[in-house]
Chains A and B, each alone.
Chain A
Amino acid sequence: MNRIDQKFQALAAKGETAFIPYITAGDPTLSQTARIVLELERAGCDVIELGVPFSDPIADGVVNQEAAQRALLHNVTLHDVVALVRDLRKTSQVPLVLFTYYNPVLAYGVEAFAKDCKDAGVDGVLCVDLPPGEDEQYKRSLDANGIATVFLAAPTSTADRIALIAKQSSGFVYYVSRTGVTGERTDIVSTVQGMVAAIKEHTSTPVAVGFGISTPAQASEVAGYADGVIVGSAIVRLVGQYGEAPETPAKVYEFVKPLVDATKSAHRTASV
């Protein structure tokens, strides 16, 4: 069984919500990313999203854009990120999801990418600008290699689209909590809980919520009804601030631990 599915099953048995951090791979360097991943795991993160740097990240706010640019200064490629996962698998079994744009995957070759993901130990892929149905080969190849296909659902998704997204997603469904790009916000939109419930009517696949979550209070609120809480830009900002300094992984740990704790101690109002 895929590591993501195993993790969500174990959490469900305990009535817990997953905490899922996002970091940009290669920011500032691949070796620092590896150290940060291990600290995230030590802090109790359940699934880790590794962002693949791309030159034209249209779904990202300025924090993630700048992180991608820093990684691209060292020419970090999708091949490098897959290799990073292969290295990490020597010491860690934490579920890893690649968060990427479509063009690097196309350039890699969808078939070869899926196969290499399997060999390296990647558990899932989210292609932010590839909605379900646009490339059947992508879904087929990842399925054939046992890699979860995470798709986005959004506040603008209609019932038809939610049904399609729920059907095509494996690992988890990533619900984008608001219309907009990635980045920290002060509130959680009131429609999120209803949308999570609507998605869950169509699928038993877990639903995680991201975009705009950055504080323990927000994490706790969302953890009350979602299967996973995703925090990205706030962590990426911190990594950007400390960069290559040796204390960066520890700083990330300190920042993430209260988010993990808030997520884990949240009282679930809806069953998984």
Chain B
Amino acid sequence: MPSSEVLSKTPRKPYPFPDSRGRFGRFGGRYVPETLMHPLMELEAAYNKAQSDPEFIGELAALRKHYIGRPTPLYFAKRLTEHLGGAKIYFKREDLAHTGAHKINNALGQSLLAKRMGKRRVIAETGAGQHGVATATACALLGLECEVYMGTEDMERQKLNVCRMRLLGSKVTPVDSGTKTLKDAINEAMRDWVTNVADTHYVLGTVEGPHPYPVICRDFQKVIGEEARCQILEAEGRLPDLLIACVGGGSNAIGLFFEFIQDESVRMIGVEAGGHGPATGMHAARFAGGVVGMLHGAMSYVLQDENGQIMGTHSVSAGLDYPSIGPEHSYWHDIGRVEYAYANDDEALAAFTMASRMEGIIPALESAHAIA
């Protein structure tokens, strides 16, 4: 094993995805009504410009440090490690980021971008409410008007986050159509965006959607893995054997995995929501039960019936309750770089209790799927 100093400086091969058409192999792309095509191209151009602008980079770096509170700690879970008696377990503590989740990394980055683009209004969808809270927070900070779409079922099970968004000055609009969850909130946000695209930016909360959203969100989230890689090299002097993350749309998992994707010795597992178990049909395990299709602008694995109608999902965690998955995950799945497994509701709940009692860390139900 090379020294940690060598590892941290290992030159990276160029990573060719997404290509110029926003594809990760056969996944991704830009499948949207024509009205959104030019706005997406504008967004892509504005984003590319911002990414090479020292002022934007500097502003984001300062906010990450002083506002979000980055870097977040990499915490050695000693009691859990002893209890399980196997590998040494570390938690990347995104729960200690401002607003309590990794979602702020993307929401703040995109809101800064929106402001730069001269948009006065920002909209977002939310499932568990974390992305909604993060976007409402970023908008409060930057003085942007904010409206968040949320399924009525999710509003019921995540009441506290609805209060937080409203406290932050955001409008929360209930979505009562379809399955009344994240998928339908995205539908409604897209309908708003297609209508108000002239002055509104849509802050999509995960590595889903039409190009360039998957790459923008990945880039704003990859700081998780960049920090984790330095932190583990400092703590252990070597790379980890295994990374585990839960996967809904998959922004946290991509954020962690991306920096390690070329470290061939590092095995990675994405954990989907098994709900009551894939056999019951009440789940959100896209790789176990889905086929390739197109939802919300991107080609990916999608839970659907044989006629191409999107199926309802079930998970105890609102944040994983979504019938498709980020296109880059589908690509990693197909090339075998990342393994995907699922944890059922009861397994996640058991892990939730274990982490709480053994480490004094009450995880999100989403993250509990990864611990399980």
Show the binding face of A for B, using Cβ within 8 Å. 54-59, 61, 65, 72, 75, 77-79, 102-108, 128-131, 134, 151-158, 161, 165, 176, 179-181
Contact = CB atoms under 8 A, between A and B. Distances in A.
A58 B294 CA distance: 13
Given A106-B294, A107-B293, A157-B38, A152 B33 contact: yes
B214 interface: no
Contacts of A130: 31
Nearest to A62: B177
Contacts of A158: 38
Contacts of A72: 309
Interface in B8-65: 29-39
A231 B56 CA distance: 46
22 contacts: A56-B310, A58-B33, A59-B194, A77-B307, A77-B309, A79-B307, A103-B293, A103-B294, A103-B310, A105-B308, A128-B33, A129-B31, A129-B297, A131-B31, A165-B34, A176-B33, A176-B35, A179-B194, A179-B197, A180-B191, A180-B195, A181-B191
B304 interface: yes
B350 interface: no
A107 B307 contact: yes
Interface residues of B, number: 36
B167 interface: no
A61 B177 CA distance: 12
Most buried by A among B294, B309, B310: B309
A129 B194 CA distance: 12
A154 B296 contact: no
Nearest to A58: B190
A161 B39 CA distance: 12
Given A102-B31, A129-B31, A161-B38, A78 B308 contact: yes
Given A103-B294, A180-B195, A129 B35 contact: no
Contact of A156 (B37, B307, B309): B37
Contacts of B178: 55-56
Nearest to B177: A65
Interface in B183-242: 183-184, 187, 190-191, 194-198
Given A72-B309, A108-B308, A179-B194, 19 more contacts: A55-B310, A56-B184, A58-B194, A77-B307, A78-B307, A102-B31, A103-B294, A106-B292, A106-B308, A107-B304, A108-B307, A131-B32, A134-B30, A134-B31, A152-B33, A152-B34, A156-B39, A157-B34, A180-B195
Nearest to B36: A156
Contacts of B190: 58
A158 B191 CA distance: 21
A108 to B, nearest CB: 7
Contact of B294 (A102, A108, A165): A102
A194 B177 CA distance: 36
Contacts of A154: 33-35, 37
A155 B35 CA distance: 7
B302 interface: yes
A33 to B, nearest CB: 17
B295 interface: yes
B187 A161 contact: no
B306 interface: yes
Nearest to B297: A129
A83 B191 CA distance: 31
A180 B308 CA distance: 24
Interface string B270-312: 0000000000000000000000111111000010101111100
B310 A156 contact: no
A131 B37 CA distance: 8
A134 B29 contact: yes
A56 B34 CA distance: 17
A103 B33 contact: no
A243 to B, nearest CB: 20
Interface in B321-362: none
B60 to A, nearest CB: 28
A261 B191 CA distance: 33
Nearest to B179: A55
Contacts of B309: 54-55, 72, 77, 104
A8 B20 CA distance: 38
A103 B302 CA distance: 10
A56 B33 CA distance: 13
A81 B238 CA distance: 59
Nearest to A57: B187
Contacts of B295: 56, 103
B136 to A, nearest CB: 23
Contacts of A77: 307, 309
A54 B305 CA distance: 12
Which 9 interchain pairs have the tightest Cβ spacing?
A: A107-B308, A104-B308, A180-B195, A154-B35, A152-B34, A77-B307, A103-B308, A154-B34, A55-B309
A79 B187 CA distance: 25
A103 B34 contact: no
A156 B38 contact: yes
